[in-house]
Amino acid sequence: MMQPAMIRALDASEAEARLGELADILVDAVVHGASVNFMAGFSAEDGRAFWHGQLPGLAGGEKRLLVADDGTRLVGTVLLSFAHQPNAPHRAEVGKMLVLVSARRQGLGRQLLAAAEEAARAAGRTLLMLDTESGSAGDKLYRACGWTAIGEVPDHAFRPDGHLAATTLFYKALGPHRHPATAVR
């Protein structure tokens, strides 16, 4: 019997050691048509390069990488990027919310999203944003998890197969938004 996947954070050094597994998850998403910034022909080498590019942000604390780990391999990811603008210390963006096709329909997406929300709260972030292909599995998940659709941008991005698709923008408020320097005590 397969063990349930554990959701946990990866630091930069473990992420670097597991670049191949992270790349596999990203390649799997692209091969199966997910509109996650990449086009058909995206390779494992391309995936490793993408994740390698995230390492400085992970090491510097500007990003947090959460994964679903089934004890044998990584089967899902979500990347939380903290806004760096001085007027946005309360914001973060959710991205690379991915689960291997072979591990879907087990609630891992919902668990990864909840973990990202909790990590954002723990970092003092109270407003999350993301975008996803309209009508996709992600779109349905975010709506089911209480995210608010801001609107849809037609022909926003190419799918891996070269067809244009609409994108829906979402946000989720996690609590009151107060600037740390001006918060009432």
In a domain, 51, yes or no: yes
In a domain, 85, yes or no: yes
In a domain, 154, yes or no: no
pLDDT reported for residue 184: 44
CATH code of the domain in which 11 resides: 3.40.630.30
pLDDT reported for residue 122: 95
pLDDT reported for residue 124: 94
- Residue 107, domain extent: 6-128
- Number of structural domains (the chain) is 1
- Nearest Cα to Cα of residue 76 among 126, 156, 149, 18: 18
Tokens of 102: 């072979």
Tell whether pTM > 0.85: yes
In a domain, 166, yes or no: no
In a domain, 122, yes or no: yes
Distance, in Å, from the CA atom of 132 to the CA atom of 152, rounded to the nearest integer, reads 10
- Ranges of residues in the chain with a pLDDT under 70 are 1-3, 178-185
